Amino acid sequence: MFNPVNSRVSFPQLEENILTWWKENNVFQRSVIARKGGPRFVLYDGPPTLNGRPALHHVFMSVFKDALPRYKAMNGFYAPRIGGWDTHGLPVELEIEKQLGISSKTQIEEYGVDRFNELCRKSVYGYMKEFEEVLERCGYWVDLDNPYITLKNEYIETCWWAIKKMWDKGLVYQGYRVTPHCPRCGTSLSSHEIAQGYKDTEDPSVYIKFKLSDKTAANLPADKPLYFLAWTTTPWTLPGNTALAVSPEDEYVLLQGENDYLIMAANLTGAVGLDDYKEEKKLEGKELVGLEYQPLFNPHEFDVELLKFQEDGSLLAQEIDNNLTYRVISGDFVTMDDGTGIVHIAPAFGEDDYEAGKEWGLDFVQPVDLQGNITGTYPFAGKFVKDADADVIADLKSRGLLLRSETIKHTYPFCWRCETPLLYYSKATWYIRTTALKDRLLSGNEEVNWYPEHIKYGRFGDWLQNNIDWAFSRERYWGTPLPVWHCESCGEFECVGGRGELEKKEGFSGFKEPLDLHRPYVDEVTFKCSKCGGQMRRVSEVIDCWFDSGAMPVAQEHYPFENETLLEDGRFPADFICEAVDQTRGWFYSLHAISTLLFSRPCFKNVICLGHILDPKGEKMSKRKGNVVWPMEVMKKYGADALRWYLYTASAPGNPRQFDEKQVNEVSRRFLSTLWNVYSFFVMYANIDDYKPSGNSPAPEADLDKWVHSELNQLISDVRSSMDNYNPTEAGRKIEMFVDGLSNWYVRRSRRRFWKSENDDDKLSAYNTLYHCLVTLSKLLAPLTPFVAEELYRNLVVSASPDAPESVHLADFPQSDESAIDRQLSEDNRLAMKICSLGRAARSRVGIKIRQPLAEIHVGIASEHEKLALDRVAPLVMEELNVKELMCDSAEKVAGMEGKEYSAVSETGNSVAVSTYITAELEAEGMAREIVHRVQNMRRSAGYDIADHIYLYYEADAWIMQSLSSFADYVMQETLTREIIEEVPDGVDLQETYKISGYTILLGVKKAK
Nearest distance in Å: CB 105, Zn ion: 12
DSSP structural state of residue 3 = P
Output the smallest distance, CB 531 to Zn ion, in A. 4
CA distances from 817 to 260, 709, 723, 814 (A): 90, 9, 18, 9
In angstroms, give the least distance from the CB of 122 to Zn ion.
Answer: 22
Q: How far apart are the C-alpha atoms of 288 and 212, rounded to whole Å?
A: 11
Nearer to Zn ion, 397 or 528 (CB): 528
Residue 93 or 579 with smaller CB distance to Zn ion:
93
| Pairwise CA distance, residues 979 & 1008, whole Å | 10
The answer to whether 61 touches 647, Cβ cutoff 8 Å, is no
Report the distance separating Cα 305 and Cα 948, nearest Å.
101
* Segment contacting Zn ion by CB under 5 A, of 174-182, 457-465, 902-910, 953-961: 174-182
- Give the range of 227-235, 377-385, 407-415, 939-947 binding Zn ion by CB under 5 A: 407-415
- The one segment of 7-15, 115-123, 341-349, 529-537 that binds Zn ion by CB under 5 A: 529-537
Could you give the CA distance from residue 896 to residue 885 in angstroms, rounded to a whole number? Answer: 19
For every residue of 192-231, DSSP letters joined together read HHHTT-EEEEEEEEEEEEEEBPSS--TTS--SS-EEEEEE
Q: Which CB, 267 or 420, lies closer to Zn ion? A: 420
- Nearer to Zn ion (CB atom), residue 419 or residue 569: 419
Name the phi and psi angles at 4, rounded to 5.
-60, 145
**Cα within 13 Å of Cα(664), Cβ side:** 24
85 is catalytic: no
Geometric angle at alpha carbon 471, from 470 and 476, rounded to 5°: 140
Contact between 108 and Zn ion by CB under 5 A: the answer reads no
Residue 492 binding Zn ion, by CB under 5 A: yes
Helix/strand/coil (H, E, C) string of 844-898? HHCCCCCCCCEEEEEEEECCHHHHHHHHHHHHHHHHHHCEEEEEEEEHHHHHCCC
Is 583 a known active-site residue? yes
Is 485 considered catalytic here? Answer: no
Q: Does 739 bind Zn ion (CB under 5 A)?
A: no
Instruction: Choose which of 63, 73, 134, 182 interacts with Zn ion (CB under 5 A).
Output: 182
Per-position x/- string for 428-467, each x denoting binding to Zn ion as judged by CB under 5 A, each - no binding? ----------------------------------------
What stretches of 44-171 adopt beta strand conformation (E)?
A: 82-85, 143-149
CB of 7 to Zn ion, least distance (A): 55
Q: How far apart are the first and last CA of the chain?
A: 25
Q: Which residues contact 509 (CB under 8 A, 6 or more apart)?
A: 525, 526, 527
Active-site pick, 256, 583, 714, 852: 583
Is 545 an interacting residue with respect to Zn ion (CB under 5 A)?
A: no
What's the min distance (Å) between Cβ of 134 and Zn ion? Answer: 28
Residue of 239, 245, 219, 511 whose CA lies nearest to 381: 239
147 is catalytic: no
Interface pick for Zn ion out of 88, 177, 181, 184 (rule CB under 5 A): 184
Angle at 337 between CA 332 and CA 338, to 5 degrees: 110
Give me the least distance between CB of 196 and Zn ion, in Å please: 12
| Torsion over CA: 86, 87, 88, 90 (sign) | positive
The residue annotated as part of the active site, out of 22, 45, 47, 728, is: 47
Q: Minimal distance in Å, beta carbon 537 to Zn ion?
A: 11
Q: Determine, following the binding rule CB under 5 A, whether residue 418 of this chain makes contact with Zn ion.
A: yes
> Smallest gap, in angstroms, from Cβ of residue 240 to Zn ion?
21
Q: Is 489 in the site for Zn ion (CB under 5 A)?
A: yes
**Shortest distance, position 334 Cβ to Zn ion, whole Å:** 31
185 binds Zn ion (CB under 5 A): yes
CB of residue 198 to Zn ion, shortest distance in Å: 14
Distance CA 266, CA 255 (A): 10
Q: Does 495 engage in binding with Zn ion (CB under 5 A)?
A: no
Question: What letter does residue 188 receive in the DSSP assignment?
Answer: E
Q: Is 450 a catalytic residue?
A: no
CA distance 680 to 4: 8
> Does 532 interact with Zn ion (rule: CB under 5 A)?
yes
Identify which of residues 236 and 588 has a Cβ nearer to Zn ion in the complex.
Answer: 236
Catalytic-role residue among 282, 409, 620, 625: 620
Contact segment (CB under 5 A) with Zn ion among 397-405, 446-454, 525-533, 855-863 equals 525-533
Closest CA to 473 of 526, 420, 428, 423: 428
| Part of the chain binding Zn ion (CB under 5 A), chosen from 490-498, 719-727, 782-790, 818-826 | 490-498
Interacting residue with Zn ion among 199, 531, 752, 978 (CB under 5 A): 531
> What's the rounded Cα separation, in Å, for the pair 47 and 548?
10
In the bound state with Zn ion, the residue whose beta carbon lies nearer, of 476 and 734, is 476
Please, what's the b/e burial string for 552-569 (b: 16 or more CB within 10 A of its CB; e: otherwise)? bbbbbbbbbeeeeebbee
Closest approach of Cβ 417 to Zn ion, in Å?
Answer: 5
Nearer to Zn ion, 418 or 1002 (CB): 418
Q: Which of these is catalytic: 45, 86, 548, 822?
A: 86
Residue 386: C-alpha distances to residues 205, 368, 634 (Å): 13, 11, 43
- Catalytic member of 224, 282, 504, 623: 623
Whichever of 205 and 473 has its CB closer to Zn ion, that residue is: 473
Q: Say how far apart CA 743 and CA 673 lie, in whole Å.
A: 11
Contact between 855 and 885 under an 8 Å Cβ cutoff? The reply is yes
The yes or no reply on residue 94 touching Zn ion (CB under 5 A) is no
Residue span binding Zn ion (CB under 5 A) among the ranges 355-363, 417-425, 654-662, 863-871: 417-425
Is there binding between residue 301 and Zn ion (CB under 5 A)? no
Nearer to Zn ion, 184 or 519 (CB): 184
Supply the minimum distance, in Å, between the C-beta of residue 598 and Zn ion.
Answer: 29
Select from 313, 510, 534, 693 the one that contacts Zn ion (CB under 5 A). Answer: 534
Spot the catalytic one: 22, 161, 360, 587: 587
Least distance between Zn ion and beta carbon 423 (Å): 11
Q: Which is nearer to Zn ion, 490 or 887 (CB)?
A: 490
DSSP per residue over 461-511, as a string? Answer: HHHHHT---EE-EES-SSSPBP-EEEETTT--EEE--SHHHHHTSTT-B--
Residue of 815, 800, 789, 802 whose CA lies nearest to 70: 789
Question: What's the CA gap between 219 and 865, in Å, rounded?
Answer: 90
Does 415 help bind Zn ion (rule: CB under 5 A)? yes
Q: Which is nearer to Zn ion, 184 or 476 (CB)?
A: 184
Contact stretch for Zn ion (CB under 5 A) within 409-417, 668-676, 743-751, 961-969: 409-417
Question: Quick check: 487 binds Zn ion (CB under 5 A)?
Answer: yes
Phi, psi of 207 (to 5 degrees): -105, 120
Q: By rule CB under 5 A, what count of residues binds Zn ion?
A: 14
Catalytic residue from among 546, 645, 676, 707? 546
In the annotation, is 630 catalytic?
A: no
Q: Which is nearer to Zn ion, 184 or 779 (CB)?
A: 184
662 flagged as catalytic: no
CB 606 within 8 A of CB 451: yes
Kindly report the backbone phi and psi dihedral angles of residue 317, in degrees, each rounded to the nearest multiple of 5, phi listed first: -65, 145
Region of 155-163, 274-282, 411-419, 589-597 interacting with Zn ion (CB under 5 A): 411-419
Work out which of 222, 408, 490, 737 binds Zn ion, going by CB under 5 A.
Answer: 490
Q: Return the number of other C-beta atoms located less than 10 Å from residue 509's C-beta.
A: 12
Those residues whose C-beta lies under 8 Å from the C-beta of residue 439, and which sit 6 or more positions away, are none
Choice between 416 and 726, CB closer to Zn ion: 416
- Which residues of the chain form contacts with Zn ion (CB under 5 A)? 182, 184-185, 415, 418, 420, 487, 489-490, 492, 529, 531-532, 534
- Catalytic positions, written as ranges: 47, 86, 546, 583, 587, 620, 623
